[in-house]
Amino acid sequence: MYFASDNWAGAHPAIAQRLTEVSTGFSAPYGASALDRKIEQRFNELFEREVAVYFVSTGTAANSLALAAVNRPGGVSFCHREAHMLEDECGAPEFFTHGARLAPVDGVNGKINPHKLKAEIERFPPDFVHAGQPMAISITQATEIGTLYQPDEISAIAKIAQAYQLPLHMDGARIANALVALELTPAEMTWKLGVDIVSFGATKNGCWCAEALVFMNPELAKDLPFIRKRAAQLLSKSRFIAGQFDAYLHDELWLDLARHANAMAARLQTGIVNSSQARLAWQAEVNEVFAILDKAHADRLQEKGAVFYQWNPPRAKPGLLAEHQVLLRLVTSFATETEQVDSFVELLR
């Protein structure tokens, strides 16, 4: 019963197999092989336009390089207060940008409130050198708490980005889960709404180690080859990432895997609701379920072998928990089996 995170899963067999297949023979390193080219082309098709794609080894690298690409002296990027890049990357965005700042923006359900975003940006009048200068906006889709920006919500943020001439970045560590839940294409959920840069995560959804940084406008990425190389993120045997994507993006495997993870979360959620032993903290929209229950009960579940985190409640919800209660985060993945879900629900009851 592994619900700690989707990165506890391994790799999907089809991906492992494809990786083995591309393991033989010689090919040009550093992203110059035919297979690298093929996958880059695949991304063009996926996004229905010519994009610039850079493979990197971690989601943190993708997010941080996205900001580095649009870096400005005294720059300030705006993201949700609970954003992964702000809370869980040990200052990597600041490191990659040589000290540009992340400014937290509040908003319910893990999503940036556009009015608050505008107010935060307005704190930086143009040419007021003391405060610094805005440089980017970043949203996470699906969010860190398993919710989704609806298309019109992304649009509203993109309009602000455009008004202030700020690039809009999407941290898509769980982008597949979002796409299948919203029934949108990559193009529809990104540049058609005004998103400029995407951290396209595949590791959590069935790969070993495959992240792509995608620029909708390649011009924005013109310095990226140097930025990536000096950040030690240019992999020599790059077909190793290309090979994973080759299987992942083939024949909708990636969407199928995400659908499965989401379905497992939905099943888990139903089980929790019906258990009457816990309640949902909020409605899961992808593959993360947040539930509230007694700490004693949570501890017991863990003792009996259920693996999950007791999570810090969002700052936006200070009164969420009663004193004896804890918040559980339960994450499903492509590898989660129905039996695991059912066993957990059984145990919960």
Binding mask 129-148 for a second copy (x = CB under 8 A): xxxxx---------------
Min separation Cβ 155 and a second copy, Å:
28
The one among 142, 202, 214, 234 contacting a second copy by CB under 8 A: 234
Does 17 bind a second copy (CB under 8 A)? Our answer is: yes
The one among 2, 200, 248, 334 contacting a second copy by CB under 8 A: 2
Choose among 305, 306, 310: nearest CA to 292: 310
Full 3-state SS string of 237-272: CCHHHHHHHHHHCHHHHHHHHHHHHHHHHHHHHHHH
Cis previous bond, 316, omega within 30: no
Does 149 bind a second copy (CB under 8 A)? Our answer is: no
Contact assessment for residue 248 and residue 42, using Cβ atoms and an 8 Å cutoff: no
Beta strands in 173-294 (DSSP E): 197-201, 211-215, 279-280, 288-294
- State which residue, 6 or 285, has the beta carbon closest to a second copy: 6
Min separation Cβ 266 and a second copy, Å:
20
| Two structure tokens written together for 341 | 């879900």
Does 247 bind a second copy (CB under 8 A)? Our answer is: no
The one among 227, 242, 258, 341 contacting a second copy by CB under 8 A: 227
Does 209 bind a second copy (CB under 8 A)? Our answer is: yes
| Two structure tokens written together for 175 | 């982008």
Does 288 bind a second copy (CB under 8 A)? Our answer is: no
- State which residue, 187 or 209, has the beta carbon closest to a second copy: 209
Site for a second copy in 45-64 (CB under 8 A): 56-61, 64
Contact assessment for residue 306 and residue 331, using Cβ atoms and an 8 Å cutoff: no
Does 302 bind a second copy (CB under 8 A)? Our answer is: no
Contact assessment for residue 226 and residue 69, using Cβ atoms and an 8 Å cutoff: no
Distances 335 to 83, 257, 339 between C-alpha atoms, Å: 25, 8, 11
Site for a second copy in 89-118 (CB under 8 A): 89-92, 94-102
- Amino acid at the residue 15: I
Contact assessment for residue 211 and residue 263, using Cβ atoms and an 8 Å cutoff: no
Does 253 bind a second copy (CB under 8 A)? Our answer is: no
Q: Characterise 73 by phi-psi region: left (phi > 0), alpha (psi -120 to 50), beta (else).
A: beta
Min separation Cβ 212 and a second copy, Å:
14
Binding mask 166-205 for a second copy (x = CB under 8 A): -------------------------------------xx-
Does 313 bind a second copy (CB under 8 A)? Our answer is: no
* Number of residues in contact with a second copy under rule CB under 8 A: 80
Site for a second copy in 59-88 (CB under 8 A): 59-61, 64, 68, 72-76, 87-88
